[in-house]
Amino acid sequence: MEKKSCDTKTDLTQKLIPPVLYLILAVLLVNLLLYQYFNYVYPSYGQADVEHDSCQHGYFRLGTVKNCSPWLSCETLKREVRKLKRIGEGAVKRVFLSEWKENKVALSQLTVPELQEDFIHGLQMLKSLQSRHVVKLVGYCEEEFTVLTEYHPFGSLKNLNEILNLPKYKSFNTWHIRLLLAIDYVSILHYLHNSPLGTLVMCDSSDLDKVLSQYLLTSSFHVIVNDLDALPLVDKNAGRLIKCGHRELQGAFVAPEQLWPRGNEMAFEDSLMPPYDEMTDIWKIPDVSNFILGDVDGSDLVRFHLFDIHGACKRSPAERPSAQTVLDTYKKVLESLVRETVMPRRRDML
Ligand SMILES: Nc1ncnc2c1ncn2[C@@H]1O[C@H](COP(=O)(O)OP(=O)(O)O)[C@@H](O)[C@H]1O
Ligand SMILES: [Mg+2]
């Protein structure tokens, strides 16, 4: 009798072991694939900011060219760059699609002499902050107020919906790509807030269109920052805070601490306007991300998962999360949603 029950147990164990082993193997395999996927999506995740096609400071490389060349000088710019057509304009720069040795490049020129200081500040920032988050600098001529950068045919992030709605990019118009783009955007803020120069605030950001126009959408569907003309430095240890310009800011898009605190009771006066810090960028994250996530299958599910962190971004400045915390949360949401998509019934199976 005892032997029979023992045999039945052994039988049962023998029957159960293979499926359990297969299940464990399947889970391991999926985890391995997810690991590879996240390594592919974030090559620099958990490492120093390694860039695969980077050149040393003062050099650039375009397209598939192997060697790095020094940034083009005034003479080379004048001699070898040909303007083709105007592709954009903001307050500070007029931007032209141009050609340099069969490469398409973007030539930016100062619009009005009064904004020279902003133009030069932007150029200094471009030189200092070259990384995978920032548009590639190809050359410049300070005397002529000219900057040459890599050309990105999709233009600014404002064009995102237009591009993703084109039939040929339909397969990219997914919650997944859109969440990756939002992660790029928050990664840029994280980079600026922890830059080699210190904590920099993206001040050219008084409304949604304005923010979007400072970033470019690359043809490999990444977001990079392009316009660095208004990036003041916060130094909390030295008690140094900033103000985005000297004029009164209005509207619901800017952070509450950027608004004139005395309302109608007293006219705006710059010297009496209290300064603030990089938390103004955090306040704007939910609005920019909502635009990036758009209106496709799954966008609302992503929004649902981001609800709490976005709520936290709208708290008082001291209570807002850092860009690092927002970034970590975005990555966790991506990871769990991808996991759920790859093996939706994994929990039921176990
Ligand atoms: N490298 C580029 N590739 C493609 N479009 C660009 C590039 N640089 C600028 N643009 C276009 O020009 C617009 C204005 O450029 P930007 O540097 O923001 O000027 P401003 O400093 O005057 O705001 C951008 O919003 C974008 O549409
Ligand atoms: Mg701009």
> At 211, which CATH number?
1.10.510.10
Query: pLDDT, tens digit, for every residue of 245-260?
Result: 999 999 999 999 999 9
Considering every ligand atom, which ligand is closest to the CA of 205?
2
Supply the pLDDT for residue 1.
44
Residue 13 lies in a domain: no
State whether 112 and 233 are in the same domain: no
Q: What is the pLDDT of residue 49?
A: 39
Predicted pLDDT of residue 282: 99
Q: What is the residue whose two structure tokens read 């306007």?
A: 273
Is the residue at 47 inside a domain? Answer: no
Within-domain flag for 34: no
Spatial separation of the C-alpha atoms in residues 51 and 68, rounded to whole Å: 14
Q: Which two three-digit tokens encode residue 216?
A: 């470019």
Q: 52-56, 97-101, 121-125: lowest mean pLDDT where?
A: 52-56
CA of 97 to the centre of ligand 1 (A): 10
Index of the ligand 1 atom closest to the CA of residue 150: 1
Q: pLDDT (tens digit, 9 = 90+) per residue, 202-227?
A: 999 999 999 999 999 999 999 999 99
- Closest C-alpha among 37, 221, 51, 45 to residue 133: 51
- Asked if 321 and 189 sit in the same domain, the reply is yes
Are 260 and 318 in the same domain?
yes
Task: State the distance from the centre of ligand 1 to the C-alpha of 108, rounded, in angstroms.
Answer: 8
- Pick the ligand that lies closest to the CA of residue 216: 1
Which of 296, 306, 250, 304 has the alpha carbon at shortest distance from 273? 250
Residue 213 and residue 99 in one domain = no
Average pLDDT over residues 322-327: 98
Assess contact for 286 and 322: CB atoms under 8 A. no
Tell me whether residue 87 is in a domain.
Answer: yes
**35 C-alpha to center of ligand 2: Å?**
37
Secondary structure class of 29 (helix, strand, coil)? helix
User: Ligand 2 center to residue 107 CA distance, Å?
Assistant: 14
Same domain, 62 and 164: no
Phi/psi region, residue 332 (left: phi>0; alpha: psi -120 to 50; beta: rest), is: alpha
233 and 322 inside one domain: yes
Q: Are residues 240 and 308 in the same domain?
A: yes
C-alpha 104 to ligand 1 mean position (Å): 14
Q: Are residues 331 and 349 in the same domain?
A: yes
Number of other CB atoms surrounding residue 175 within 10 Å: 20
For ligand 1, which residues put their CB under 6 angstroms from it?
Answer: 87-93, 95, 106, 108, 135, 149-152, 155-156, 213-214, 216, 226-227, 229
Same domain? 189 vs 144 = no
Write the CB contacts of 186 (distance below 8 Å, at least 6 apart in sequence). 285, 289, 323, 326, 327, 330
Ligand 1 pocket: which of 136, 227, 228 to mutate (most atoms within 8 A of CB): 227
Q: What is the DSSP letter of 167?
A: G
Q: Is the dihedral of CA 56, 62, 67, 69 positive or negative?
A: negative
Residue 27, in any domain of the structure: no
What pLDDT sits at residue 306?
98
Residue 4, pLDDT above cutoff 80? no
DSSP 69-132: EEPB-HHHHHHHEEEEEEEEE-SSEEEEEEEETTEEEEEEEES-GGGHHHHHHHHHHHHHT-ST
Ligand 1 atom nearest to CA at 119: 21
Whether 46 is in a domain gets the answer: no
Q: Which of 108, 133, 151 is the last residue of a domain?
A: 151
Q: How far is the CA of 294 from the centre of ligand 1 (A)?
A: 22
The pLDDT of 158-187, averaged and rounded, is 98
Most ligand 1 atoms within 8 A of CB, residue of 87, 160, 163, 229 to mutate: 87
Is residue 134 in a domain? Answer: yes
* Dihedral (CA of 107, 113, 114, 119) sign: positive
Q: Do 182 and 143 share a domain, yes or no?
A: no
The pLDDT-based confidence of 33 (bands split at 50, 70, 90) is: low
Domain containing residue 120: CATH number: 3.30.200.20
Last residue of a domain, one of 98, 125, 151: 151
Split at pLDDT 50, 70, 90, the class of 17 is: low
Helices (H), the chain: 2-41, 74-80, 116-128, 160-164, 175-193, 208-213, 279-293, 299-313, 323-342, 346-349
Among the candidates 151, 174, 200, a domain finishes at: 151
Residues 324 and 339 in one domain: yes
Give, using CA atoms, the residue closest to atom 13 of ligand 1.
88
Residue nearest (by alpha carbon) to ligand 1 atom 26? 156
Cα–ligand 1 centroid distance for 81 (angstroms): 18
Q: How many domains does the chain have?
A: 2
The confidence score (pLDDT) of residue 54 equals 85
Q: What residue numbers bound the domain in which 281 lies?
A: 154-350
Q: Note the pTM of the prediction, 2 decimals.
A: 0.88
Nearest Cα to 288, choosing from 225, 209, 201, 180? Answer: 209
Please give the radius of gyration of the chain, using alpha carbons only, rounded to the nearest integer: 25
Q: At what angle do helices 279-293 and 299-313 cross, to 10 degrees?
A: 170
pLDDT at 259: 98
**Can you tell me which atom of ligand 1 is nearest the CA of 122?**
21
Distance of CA 290 to the CA centre of its chain: 14
User: Is residue 167 one of the residues assigned to a domain?
Assistant: yes
Ligand 2 geometric centre to CA of 90 (Å)? 5
Higher pLDDT, 283 or 5: 283
- Name the closest-CA residue to atom 6, ligand 1: 155
The confidence score (pLDDT) of residue 25 equals: 72
State how beta strands 103-110 and 137-141 pair: unpaired
In this structure, the answer to whether residues 212 and 290 fall within a common structural domain is yes
